[in-house]
Amino acid sequence: MQSLKNDIRQKIMDAGRKEFSRKGFTKASMRSIATQVGVGVGNLYHYFPSKDSLFCAVLAPITSSFYSMFDRHHGKYADALDMIREEYLFSAVSEYMNLLRGNRTLMKILFFGHKGLH
């Protein structure tokens, strides 16, 4: 039973990612997402109590990656003067570019998600 619930949750998140990507946050519809998944809107709200909570869940992988990256870099280079060193700049930019390359759709939703991408 639990794996079925996890499967539905993942399907909702996948449909949400597509919906937010196509329409942006404002125009995205929980009803449309529920229809894509094949569940009732009421059931969708058992998994995600609001469109905002679904949006945050969809973006969680990229936002947590950013927080981890910032913690690593700022923990290692606590002094602002260290952060202008070439070693720090190369490391930070390389890691940021890897995040961009590996998460293009989520990055687009994060940065441009208010208006949709298509």
Assign 54 to helix, strand or coil.
Answer: helix
Average pLDDT score over residue span 96-101 = 84
Task: Give the CA diameter of the chain.
Answer: 55
pLDDT at position 118 over 60: no
3-state secondary structure of 114: coil
Q: Which of 11-20, 34-43, 106-115 has the lowest mean pLDDT?
A: 106-115
Q: What is residue 115's predicted lDDT score, i.e. its pLDDT?
A: 62
More confident residue, 71 or 81: 71
**Which pLDDT value is given to residue 50?**
96
CA separation for the pair 32, 1 (Å, rounded): 25
The domains of the chain, with CATH numbers, are 2-112 (1.10.357.10)
> In the predicted model, is pLDDT for residue 78 greater than 70?
no
* pLDDT bucket at 69, cuts 50 / 70 / 90: confident
Can you tell me whether residue 38 is helix, strand or coil?
coil
Contact assessment for residue 12 and residue 37, using Cβ atoms and an 8 Å cutoff: yes
Give pLDDT, residue 86: 81
Per the CB < 8 A criterion, the answer to whether 54 and 16 are in contact is yes
Mean pLDDT of the chain: 84
Distance between CA atoms of residues 102 and 34, nearest Å? 27
Q: What is the pLDDT of residue 67?
A: 85
